[in-house]
């Protein structure tokens, strides 16, 4: 387990006791999240783009159309900030002021580069596919030459990162604990519902086991 150094960029300033800088905590959160938000600045205008991703060791993989403004920004070697948040529950206190949310979040900083080599590019696209639905890459049709040429793939090295986690019950003022108001935590989790068959399927194919048993929980 490695720990990211605390800097002016990644240091948790508000409620620092909730901060984590070890790669084990940070990577576990990243690996459970489906979507990240990437922040960048272009011509003094800030932008935030939601996008699916994958983590490969200490890098983040993104892909998209060649014309993507975000990917062009990264291909030029410019810095970005990436964020993910997992919501674990609604914290309901006796007072509105102390209501909160149980969550796990990561903010990381880095700059990236284009993945040009076809073999490396396919490996990166496999990582993204398997991050979203493990097992899918081995069953679905893989990108052809035209599709591969139309896609930009970048890797962003994680230079700085920190996680922030809130868990547990509400914390009320001492005098409020006697109030006749329900208090506690309403747990939330991301979970799949029953798969819906595409009506354009020409064959009666059973739902694959990796879809039927799909879960975002980390083992």
In this prediction, residue 107 carries a pLDDT of 98
Residue 30 belongs to a domain: yes
> Could you read off the pLDDT of 64-107 as tens digits, one per residue?
999 999 999 999 999 999 999 999 999 999 999 999 999 999 99
pLDDT digits (tens, 9 = 90+) for 75-86: 999 999 999 999
What is the bridge-based pairing of β-strands 151-157 and 79-92? unpaired
Q: Is residue 201 part of a domain?
A: no
Q: Do the Cβ atoms of 183 and 26 come closer than 8 Å? A: no
* pTM assigned to the model: 0.93
pLDDT tens digit sequence for 159-207: 999 999 999 999 999 999 999 999 999 999 999 999 999 999 999 999 9
For residue 112, what is the domain's CATH number? 2.30.110.10
**Assigned domain for 97 exists:** yes
Residues spanned by the domain of 87: 16-191
User: Per the structure, how many domains does the chain have?
Assistant: 1
* 205: in domain: no
CA–CA gap between residue 52 and residue 133 (Å, rounded): 12
Calculate the CA dihedral of residues 41, 43, 46, 48 and round it to 10 degrees. Answer: -70
pLDDT above 70: percentage of residues in the chain: 99
pLDDT tens, residue by residue, 118-168? 999 999 999 999 999 999 999 999 999 999 999 999 999 999 999 999 999
Q: Is residue 102 part of a domain?
A: yes
Report whether pLDDT(1) > 80. no
Is the pLDDT at 218 greater than 80? The verdict is no
Q: Would you call 132 helix, strand, or coil by DSSP?
A: helix
Bridge partners (DSSP) of residue 85 are 105
CA atoms within 13 A on the CB side of 77: 0
Res 136: pLDDT: 97
- pLDDT score of 8 more than 90: yes
In a domain, 62, yes or no: yes
Does a structural domain hold residue 200?
no
Do residues 106 and 30 touch, judged by C-beta distance below 8 A? yes
Q: At 217, is the pLDDT very low, low, confident or very high (cuts 50, 70, 90)?
A: confident
Neighbours of 3 (CB within 10 A): 13
pLDDT at 13 over 70: yes
pLDDT of 189: 92
Rg, C-alpha atoms of the chain: 21
Would you say residue 198 lies in a domain? no
Contact 52, 34 (CB under 8 A): yes
């Amino acid at each position: 387990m490695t720990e990211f150094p605390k800097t002016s960029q990644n240091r948790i300033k508000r409620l620092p006791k909730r901060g984590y800088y070890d790669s084990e905590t940070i990577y576990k959160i990243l690996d459970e999240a489906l979507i990240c938000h990437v922040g960048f600045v272009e011509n003094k205008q800030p932008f935030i783009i939601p996008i699916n991703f994958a983590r490969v060791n200490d890098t983040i993989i993104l892909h998209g159309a060649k014309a993507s403004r975000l990917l062009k920004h990264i291909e030029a070697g410019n810095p970005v900030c990436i964020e993910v948040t997992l919501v674990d529950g609604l914290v309901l206190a006796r007072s509105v002021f102390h209501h909160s949310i149980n969550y796990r979040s990561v903010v990381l900083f880095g700059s990236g580069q284009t993945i040009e080599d076809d073999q490396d590019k396919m490996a990166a696209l496999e990582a993204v596919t398997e991050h979203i639905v493990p097992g899918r890459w081995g069953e679905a049709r893989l990108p052809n030459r035209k599709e591969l040429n139309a896609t930009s793939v970048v890797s962003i090295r994680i230079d700085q990162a920190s996680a922030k986690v809130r868990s547990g019950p509400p914390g009320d003022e001492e005098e409020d604990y006697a109030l006749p108001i329900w208090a506690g935590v309403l747990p939330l989790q991301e979970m799949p519902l029953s798969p819906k068959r595409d009506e354009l399927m020409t064959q009666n194919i059973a739902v694959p086991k990796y879809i039927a048993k799909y879960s975002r929980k980390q083992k």
